[in-house]
Amino acid sequence: MQCVRKQSERSKSQELLHDEQRKKITSVNLKLLGMDGDTDLNFLLNGADLVKVRSASWRKVRFYKLQEDCKTVWHESRKTLRPKHTFSIEDVESVRSGRHTEGLRKYTEDTMESRAFSILFKSHHKNLDLIANSEEEAKHWVSGLEKIISNMSNLSQQQRTEHWIFNCLRKADINCDTKMSPEEVKVFLQDINVEVDNEYVKMLFEKCDQSKTGLLEGKEIKLLYEILTDREEIDVIYKAYAKTDGLMSAANLLDFLVNEQMEKVDLNDAAQLIEKCEVDETAKAKQLMTKDGFLMFLHQPKALIMNPTHKSVYQDMNQPLSHYFISSSHNTYLLKDQLKGPSSTEGYIRALMKGCRCVELDVWDGSEGEPVIYHGYTLTSKILFKDVIQAIKDYAFKTSEYPVILSLENHCSVDQQKLMAKHINSILGSALISKPLGENMPTALPSPEELKGRFLIKGKCLNKLEDYYTDQAATAEEDSVTEEEDAGDDDEEVDHAENKKSKTLKLAKELSDLIIYCKSVKFQGFESARTRQAFYEMASFKEWDALNFAEKSANEYIHYNVDKLSRVYPSGAVRTNSSNFSPVPLWNSGCQIVALNFQTPCAEMDLNQGLFNQNGQSGYILKPAYLRDKESEFDPITLIRGPWLKHIALHVMVISAHQLPKVKEKSLSIVDPLVRVEIHGVHEDTSKKETQHVNNNGFNPMWNENFQFDLYVPELALVRFVVEDYDVVSSNDFIGQCTVPFNSMQMGYRHMPLYNHNGDLIPSAQLFVHLMAVETD
């Protein structure tokens, strides 16, 4: 929520008063964020000139300054029609010190390394490349911004709400007199996403105006805050279990944890929760929990919808790679569409930071002797292959320590292939798997655990894995090798006449030798694969072919995927806008590498994020046992009886939401939210139901609506909660969503975070639900 409002001209005395109030407000915000007296923050609050860099010829000096809310940065702009000159630190993904973006590397000199830094945003907003006046000032900016990002992410839900409400109240105080008139209260309500009529404002105002002065100040404003943040639904739940003089004892809390939350805990666990969460020291001394302490408990991370044990790596990571779903990206280098969108190393960085473990590199001959990456035969921009390998090396293991697969689409001449191999070897070094791990010929792929911190190359090659255990590989002396390449085999470009005939592909031996466990081959059918395809040979499937197998030959596809990797990619000819297909039917058929366009926000990417948010965001999810068994009779379409069949009635009560964001910038635009609950899994389980919409309330809408879903293969089910702004005329606007694997959901009363269209966390916004799963015959 931006807290900057254009002020009318002030007299000198008014300006002095305003400055004094601004200092007080800044002090309050610094304390709320736990950064009072921080030298870096004080520097940012005073502001400084920075050089903004856009190109070799576009460099402008601009003044940047942190506002008194301590989360909004104002900057000077020469664009007279620009509505606001601010950005929120909540929208910042990261801050990079030095010349570590394409723009700064390309448009600035080495001598500026110590003064340069970049601000990267969560959305598709352009990076902000900046140069400070000195190394010391650059350190102030980087350190200060990083501290705010860190401290804001560590705030409790109550602290976030206090900070947000406080600064919205400040924004509504139009004349800056620290008092609120009825008109300012109405403006404030609109700012926090609530539309009310004048009668309600009058009633609310009179209830708070205990001094009868016609203005709210001090304790009266605090009362307004308490009324607005009161949780009626929490009152009901709390009173049902607060059986000890109106408060909740450890025994009362234990009853709630066992009966409602379905948790396996004891009295000692309940007592520890009171010690940790209770905010009233008197109650805590008596081992009692107040309503405020109970709400604090419901907001702690371990009490949210996601099972806390699933947030770290909890699965067996010692099975063959083919036994895991692997988070995978298609056209990773693109930031937008695949016809004329920009290519950038940032695409790889963003995907890897989201836990992606298989990235794609479309490599072509560069005009200056260096191989380049772009979407062939299109207007997409080009980036150097070696820059991409360096970016992958730098960011591969920051989110996950498990192996990264580099899927090469090789269109290069032999000479530039040799250069590719040289760059791969020199940049990745010992982290590259360039020879088999063991001394004896294996019978299955290595495990994620064995490959921690390592890179695998997927691509065409002439060698067989068996050759490494004989003298054949060592005696090969050719500079290059050739292979008959069938049209459309592994070529993911838009169809072209020259790709419709067989052709001879020349491979540089140096590049071919880097393909160890992921040799690309053409799929010749399930029968041929059973007798002729080795476990280290993997095929790529266009989405239509893969979806056809998943629908008509699912059981055969499952058997195929037990010991061999499959990569499924979107159709280039149809999805020129880089849209995505649903990965769920392919996961249900055991496909490991379902490659999606990470650059495209959509429901399909929400499902991908939901599946891979578990297991420590490692990018590897162990497939259920019946998808790892060569003799499995499981078929997601026909659903014959087996260990996978567990009929569960899932009861979902959508209770309320809190602090939903506006979907339009206009302050008078208030959302009318509804919630849709979707089940994504086998065909029999797929379903969706939605609540009625609530008029004009995005701050604390309440639904209290119940739904029941029948799940037959719960182990493969993903539950997606979507919040939308209802529109009677056009399609609803997306507000936020949260997708959780059924097996990772905690039962009972649960808050859940909401994520925006790009998959980034929406600060403060939450959905509150009750969940109950009942096994049936």
Residues annotated within a binding site for Ca(2+): 331, 360, 362, 409, 670, 672, 696, 725-727
Is 757 in the active site?
Answer: no
Distance CA 202, CA 182 (A): 7
Q: What is the DSSP letter of 115?
A: G
Q: How far is residue 546's CA from residue 492's CA, in Å, rounded to a whole number?
A: 14
Instruction: Tell me the C-alpha distance between 358 and 517, whole Å.
Output: 14
Residue with tokens 């302490």: 293
Can you tell me the distance from the alpha carbon of 98 to that of 110, in angstroms, rounded to the nearest whole number? 10
Nearest alpha carbon to residue 141 among 266, 9, 221, 49: 49
State which amino acid sits at residue 199: E
Residue 150 in tokens:
């860190």
For residue 700, report the phi and psi dihedrals to the nearest 5 degrees. -150, 55
From CA 194, how far away is CA 697, in angstroms rounded?
A: 5
* Alpha-helical runs (H) found in 323-362: 345-353
The CA distances from residue 739 to 326, 334, 585, 604, 684, in Å, are 18, 25, 17, 11, 19
Sheet holding 92-97, edge to edge: 86-88, 72-75, 59-66, 48-53, 128-131, 116-121, 92-97
How many CB atoms sit inside 10 A of residue 616's CB? 20
Interatomic CA distance for residues 1 and 170, integer angstroms? 11
Rounded distance, CA 493 to CA 334, Å?
14
**Structure tokens belonging to residue 180:** 């609120």
Q: How many degrees, rounded to 5, is the angle at CA 662 between CA 658 and CA 665?
A: 155
Residue type, 548: N
User: Pick from 421, 425, 453, 451: which is nearest to 437 by CA?
Assistant: 451
Q: Using N-to-C axis directions, what is the helix angle for 39-46 and 135-153, rounded to 10°?
A: 110
Tokens representing residue 177 in the block: 């007199």
Give Cα 338 distance to the centre of its chain.
22
CB 528 within 8 A of CB 471: no
Which one is catalytic: 375, 658, 680, 751? 375
DSSP H/E element including 256: helix 250-259
* Residues 457, 452: Cα–Cα separation, whole Å: 15
Tokens standing for residue 361: 């590199």
In angstroms, the CA 443 to CA 564 distance is: 11
| Nearest alpha-carbon partner for 179 in 60, 285, 21, 57 | 21
Residues flagged as binding site: 52-79, 331, 360, 362, 409, 458, 460, 540, 567, 670, 672, 696, 725-727
204 neighbors 227 (Cβ within 8 angstroms): yes
Pairing of strands 761-775, 748-755: antiparallel
Is 382 within 8 Å of 373 (Cβ atoms)? yes
Q: How far apart are CA 274 and CA 281, in angstroms?
A: 11
Closest C-alpha among 412, 339, 320 to residue 622? 320
Tokens standing for 206? Answer: 């009179």
The CA–CA distances, whole Å, from 378 to 493, 576, 709 equal 9, 10, 46
Tell me which of 330, 658, 680, 693 is the catalytic residue. Answer: 330
SS3 594: strand
Q: Is 375 a catalytic residue?
A: yes
Alpha helices in 108-156 (DSSP H): 135-153
**In which residue are the tokens 């940790």 written?**
276
Catalytic residues: 330, 375
